[in-house]
C-alpha cells in the first residue's frame, strides 16, 4: 500500500513540527519527565530515542485503567486480540500475534516496576500509575533479547513522606463495576522514616457478548482484581531500598469469536482466559562511593494462566482447546554508574552492568488429546555504555551488550531441544542540544532476537519446520525533540528505517496428518523492511485548554516464501502493520470546575497474518468525557467508542469443514459503545 497523508494526518503532522512565535501569558508549564527504563535516568527531552510517555494526569484525563485503554492511541503500536486483555503486542509491525508452542520468545519487552511481564502483559492495570513509557525500536541494550521491537515500561507511583489517599468508583453499561483505593505516607514522623504506598483495584463487567446457545450475557466477562504495595527504606543516609509487590488476579471468560462475525456467540463450551500473578522486585541504590552509583535489582514473577476456547465456536461438538501454563521468572541485575567525579578524562560518563535470569515454564495442553511440556531459559548478559561529551551541547553514546541464552525443552511427545546461543547488540547515537528548547539525535542500533524451535509438529515434519534462526535488526533513527516553556508545548518526531535479516514470523497451516490438524510455528523469511515516522505533541494552550496527539506512519515489506508454500507474501506488507495510526485529543477545564475531554483514534487497514490475504478495515474510535472537578472530588460522565464503530482486532481465514477448500474470514471485534460514570475522592 502506498503511504498517503489524509487531511487529518497532514494537520496533525504540521502541528508536530511547527511552532508559533506567539506567547501565552497564562501558560501551564509542562514539567520534565524522567525516563526510568533507560540505563541512566534521563529526561524525555534529552533521551536520544523514540519514546512516547503517558503520565498519570493524562491517564486520568482519558479514563485509562488498563494498558488496553491507551495501546492503540500510541503511534505504531498494535495488538492482536487473541486474549481477553492485551498480551500479544506489536511495535512498528514487529511482534507475536499468538503463542501455541510452549516456548516463549517475546519481541516486545514489558516491565512493571522492574518486574518482567514480557508476553504476559494482562497484569498491566493502570490505576495509581505514575507513567507509561513506550520505547520504540530495538531496546536490546536496555532490556536484552526480549525487546527487539521495543520496550513498554510501567512505573507505578512511589511512596510519599506525607499522607495522601484516594478512592475511585465507576459504574457503566455492560454491567461495569470498578472500585479503586490508594493510600500513601510514612510510618512515622521521624526523618528518613520508612514510607509506604498501597493500591487496590477491582473490575467486573459482562464482556459485550450474548451467548445464544446458553442464553447468557457473561460468557466473555472480566473479573479482575489487583493489589500493589510499595515500601521505601533509608537504612543509611546514602542508601535507598525500594520494594514493590504485585498481586494480580484476572479470572476472565473468553467467548469472543462467532462464525457470523457478530457480538452473538454460539459456543456450548465457552472458554476462559485467566492470569494469577504474584511478583516482587527489590531495588537498592547506593551512593556511598562518591565515584560510583551502585544499583542492584532483583525480581521474581510467578504466574499461573489458563487459556481455553470452544474449538468450533458452536454447539455442534464438545471439543475445546485448553492450555494451563505456569511461568516463573527470576532475574538479577547489578549496575555501576559513574558520577561527575569519576568521568574518564573529565569527558566520558560510563556504566557497566551484569544481568542474569531464569525462566521456567510448564504447559499442559488438552486438544483432541493431552500433551505436557517443560521449558527452561537461562540468560546471562554483560552490558556497558559510554557517553562521550564532545562539547557542552553534543554527546556521542556507545552501548554494547553481550548475551548468552541456554534453553532446555522436553514434552510428552518425546521432543527434546537444548539450543545455546550467544548474541550481541550495540548502538551508536549522537545527540546535540541546540538550546533548552531543541534536542536532536541520530543513531544506529543492532538489535537481536534468539532463534528457537517449533514443538508439537506432526511426525516426519521436515527440519525446516522444526527450528528457526536468530533474527538481526539494524535500526537507523533521526529525531528532533522540542520543549517550549513559554508556549506550554512539547513535540517529538522521529524517522526510522529498520533492516531485518532472517526476520521471524509466526504462521499456521492445516495439516490433516497432524493429530490436532492445526500446526502453529515460527519461521524465518529472507529479509524484511520496516520504516516510517513517529511523532507526538502535548500543548497546554492556556490555563484552561490543552491539546495532544500522535501520528505513526509505517511502511513494511517482506521477502521470502512461507513454509506454507501454497501462499506467497513476497513484497507484501507485513501483518498487523497499519500504514497510519492517529490519535488526536483535547481537554478543557473551566475556572468553575467544569471539565470536558474528547479524543479520536484512527487506524489504517492491515493484514491479519502472513499466511493469507484477509485484512481488517480502517476505522475510527471516538471517546469523550464531561464532568466536574473540585479540590477534593471529581465526577465524570464518559463514553467509549461514542459512534459505536465496528472494527476488528484479530482475524483468521480458514474453513471449518472438510475438504477445507472454501475458507472464510473470521474476525474478533473490538468493544462496542459504552457509557459510564466515574467518581474520585481525595483525602
pLDDT tens per residue across span 629-668:
999 999 999 999 999 999 999 999 888 876 677 889 999 9
Predicted confidence at residue 210, as pLDDT, reads 98
What percentage of residues in the chain have a pLDDT greater than 70? 93
Q: Does residue 619 surpass a pLDDT of 70?
A: yes
Contacts with 90 (C-beta within 8 Å, 6 or more apart), sequence order: 77, 78, 79, 80, 96, 97, 107, 108, 149, 576, 577
- More confident: 343 or 562: 343
Mean pLDDT, residues 518-546 taken together: 93
Cell triple for 441: 539525535
Predicted confidence at residue 21, as pLDDT, reads 31
Mean pLDDT, residues 44-61 taken together: 95
71 in Cβ contact with 62 (< 8 Å):
no
Pairing of strands 210-211, 195-205: unpaired
DSSP string covering 277-290: EEEEEEEEEE--ST
Q: Does residue 20 surpass a pLDDT of 60?
A: no
Q: Does residue 678 surpass a pLDDT of 80?
A: yes
Mean pLDDT, residues 438-451 taken together: 97
Mean pLDDT, residues 29-50 taken together: 88
Give the CA angle between residues 49, 546, 589 to the nearest 5°. Answer: 140
Residue 426 burial (CB count, 10 A): 17
Q: For 585-607, what is each residue's pLDDT tens digit? A: 999 999 999 999 999 999 999 99
Q: Exposed, middle or buried: residue 432 (CB in 10 Å: 0-12, 13-18, 19+)?
A: middle
Predicted confidence at residue 5, as pLDDT, reads 42
What are the two backbone dihedrals, phi and then psi, of residue 119, each rounded to the nearest 5 degrees? 85, -10
Predicted confidence at residue 319, as pLDDT, reads 87
Say which range, 306-310, 462-466, 512-516, 527-531, has the weakest mean pLDDT.
512-516
Predicted confidence at residue 19, as pLDDT, reads 33
CA–CA separation, 266 vs 264, rounded Å? Answer: 7
Say which range, 202-206, 389-393, 462-466, 477-481, has the weakest mean pLDDT.
462-466
* Per-residue confidence band for 6, with pLDDT thresholds at 50, 70 and 90: very low
* Per-residue confidence band for 474, with pLDDT thresholds at 50, 70 and 90: very high
Predicted confidence at residue 61, as pLDDT, reads 95
Looking at residue 555, the DSSP 8-state letter turns out to be E
Mean pLDDT, residues 163-180 taken together: 98
Quickly count helices (H) and strands (E) in the chain. 5, 40
Question: How many angstroms separate the Cα of 334 from the Cα of each of 41, 46, 283, 285, 354?
Answer: 15, 24, 10, 10, 5
What percentage of residues in the chain have a pLDDT greater than 90? 82
Q: Does residue 168 surpass a pLDDT of 70?
A: yes
What average pLDDT is seen over the chain?
92
Q: Does residue 222 surpass a pLDDT of 70?
A: yes
CATH of domain 7-682: 2.40.170.20
Q: Does residue 515 surpass a pLDDT of 90?
A: no
Predicted confidence at residue 509, as pLDDT, reads 75
* Per-residue confidence band for 27, with pLDDT thresholds at 50, 70 and 90: very low
Q: Does residue 513 surpass a pLDDT of 80?
A: no
Predicted confidence at residue 517, as pLDDT, reads 64
Answer whether the bond into residue 659 is a cis peptide, omega within 30°.
Answer: yes
Mean pLDDT, residues 10-33 taken together: 44
Q: For 234-285, what is each residue's pLDDT tens digit? A: 999 999 999 999 999 999 999 999 999 999 999 999 999 999 999 999 999 9
Mean pLDDT, residues 180-193 taken together: 95
Q: For 544-588, what is each residue's pLDDT tens digit? A: 999 999 999 999 999 887 777 667 788 899 999 999 999 999 999
Predicted confidence at residue 23, as pLDDT, reads 32
The length of the chain is 683
pTM over 0.85: yes
Pairing of strands 438-449, 471-484: antiparallel
For residue 17, give the 3-state DSSP assignment: helix
Q: Which residues pair with 586 in a beta bridge?
A: 547, 598
Pairing of strands 467-468, 370-389: unpaired
Predicted confidence at residue 30, as pLDDT, reads 65
Amino acid at each position: 500500500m502506498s503511504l498517503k497523508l489524509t487531511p487529518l494526518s497532514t494537520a496533525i503532522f504540521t502541528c508536530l513540527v511547527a511552532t508559533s512565535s506567539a506567547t501565552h501569558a497564562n501558560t501551564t508549564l509542562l514539567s520534565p519527565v524522567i525516563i526510568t527504563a533507560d540505563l541512566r535516568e534521563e529526561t524525555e527531552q534529552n533521551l536520544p530515542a523514540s519514546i512516547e510517555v503517558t503520565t498519570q494526569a493524562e491517564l486520568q484525563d482519558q479514563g485509562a485503567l488498563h494498558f488496553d485503554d491507551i495501546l492503540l492511541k500510541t503511534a505504531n503500536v498494535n495488538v492482536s486480540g487473541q486474549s481477553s486483555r492485551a498480551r500479544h503486542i506489536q511495535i512498528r509491525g514487529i511482534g507475536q500475534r499468538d503463542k501455541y508452542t510452549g516456548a516463549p520468545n517475546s519481541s516486545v519487552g514489558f516491565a512493571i516496576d522492574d518486574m518482567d511481564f514480557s508476553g504476559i502483559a494482562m497484569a498491566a492495570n493502570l490505576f495509581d500509575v505514575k507513567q507509561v513509557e513506550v520505547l520504540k525500536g530495538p531496546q536490546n541494550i536496555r532490556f536484552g533479547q526480549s525487546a527487539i521491537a521495543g520496550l513498554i515500561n510501567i512505573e507505578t507511583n512511589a511512596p510519599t513522606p506525607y499522607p495522601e489517599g484516594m478512592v475511585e468508583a465507576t459504574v457503566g453499561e455492560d454491567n461495569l463495576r470498578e472500585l479503586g483505593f490508594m493510600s500513601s505516607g510514612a510510618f512515622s514522623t521521624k526523618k528518613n522514616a520508612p514510607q509506604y504506598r498501597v493500591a487496590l483495584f477491582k473490575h467486573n463487567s459482562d464482556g459485550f457478548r450474548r451467548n445464544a446457545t446458553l442464553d447468557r450475557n457473561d460468557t466473555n466477562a472480566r473479573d479482575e482484581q489487583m493489589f500493589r504495595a510499595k515500601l521505601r527504606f533509608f537504612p543509611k543516609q546514602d542508601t535507598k531500598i525500594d520494594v514493590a509487590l504485585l498481586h494480580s488476579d484476572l479470572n476472565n471468560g473468553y467467548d469472543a469469536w462467532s462464525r457470523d462475525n457478530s457480538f452473538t456467540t454460539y459456543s456450548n463450551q465457552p472458554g476462559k482466559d485467566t492470569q494469577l500473578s504474584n511478583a516482587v522486585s527489590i531495588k537498592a541504590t547506593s551512593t556511598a562511593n562518591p565515584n560510583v552509583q551502585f544499583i542492584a535489582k532483583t525480581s521474581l514473577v510467578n504466574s499461573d494462566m489458563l487459556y481455553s476456547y470452544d474449538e468450533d465456536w458452536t454447539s455442534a461438538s464438545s471439543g475445546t482447546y485448553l492450555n494451563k501454563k505456569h511461568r516463573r521468572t527470576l532475574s538479577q541485575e547489578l549496575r555501576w554508574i559513574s558520577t561527575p567525579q569519576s568521568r574518564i578524562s573529565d569527558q566520558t560518563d560510563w556504566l557497566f552492568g551484569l544481568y542474569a535470569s531464569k525462566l521456567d515454564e510448564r504447559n499442559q495442553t488438552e486438544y483432541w488429546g493431552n500433551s505436557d511440556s517443560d521449558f527452561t531459559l537461562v540468560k546471562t548478559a554483560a552490558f556497558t555504555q559510554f557517553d562521550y561529551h564532545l562539547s557542552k551541547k553534543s554527546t556521542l553514546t556507545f552501548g554494547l551488550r553481550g548475551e548468552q541464552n541456554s534453553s532446555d525443552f522436553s514434552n510428552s511427545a518425546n521432543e527434546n531441544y537444548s539450543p545455546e546461543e550467544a548474541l550481541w547488540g550495540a548502538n551508536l547515537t549522537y545527540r546535540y542540544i541546540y538550546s533548552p528548547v531543541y534536542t536532536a539525535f541520530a543513531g544506529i542500533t543492532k538489535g537481536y532476537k534468539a532463534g528457537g524451535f517449533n514443538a508439537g509438529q506432526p511426525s516426519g515434519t521436515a527440519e525446516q519446520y522444526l527450528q528457526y534462526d536468530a533474527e538481526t535488526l539494524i535500526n537507523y533513527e533521526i529525531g528532533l525533540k522540542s520543549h517550549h516553556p513559554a508556549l506550554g508545548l512539547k513535540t517529538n518526531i522521529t524517522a526510522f528505517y529498520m533492516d531485518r535479516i532472517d526476520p521471524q514470523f509466526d504462521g499456521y497451516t492445516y495439516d490433516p496428518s497432524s493429530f490436532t490438524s492445526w500446526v502453529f510455528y515460527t519461521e524465518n523469511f529472507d529479509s524484511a523492511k520496516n520504516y516510517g515516522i513517529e511523532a507526538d505533541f502535548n500543548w497546554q494552550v492556556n490555563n484552561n485548554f490543552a491539546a495532544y496527539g500522535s501520528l505513526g506512519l509505517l511502511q513494511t515489506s517482506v521477502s521470502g516464501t512461507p513454509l506454507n508454500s501454497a501462499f506467497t507474501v513476497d513484497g507484501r506488507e507485513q501483518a498487523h502493520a497499519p500504514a497510519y495510526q492517529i490519535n488526536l485529543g483535547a481537554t478543557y477545564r473551566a475556572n468553575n470546575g467544569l471539565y470536558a475531554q474528547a479524543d479520536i483514534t484512527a487506524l489504517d487497514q492491515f493484514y491479519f497474518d502472513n499466511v493469507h490475504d484477509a485484512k481488517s478495515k480502517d476505522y475510527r474510535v471516538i471517546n469523550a468525557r464531561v464532568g466536574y472537578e473540585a479540590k477534593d472530588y471529581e465526577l465524570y460522565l464518559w463514553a467509549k467508542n461514542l459512534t459505536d464503530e465496528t472494527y476488528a482486532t484479530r482475524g483468521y481465514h480458514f474453513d471449518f469443514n472438510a475438504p477445507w477448500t472454501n475458507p472464510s474470514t473470521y474476525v474478533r471485534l473490538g468493544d462496542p459503545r459504552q457509557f459510564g460514570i466515574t467518581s474520585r475522592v481525595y483525602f
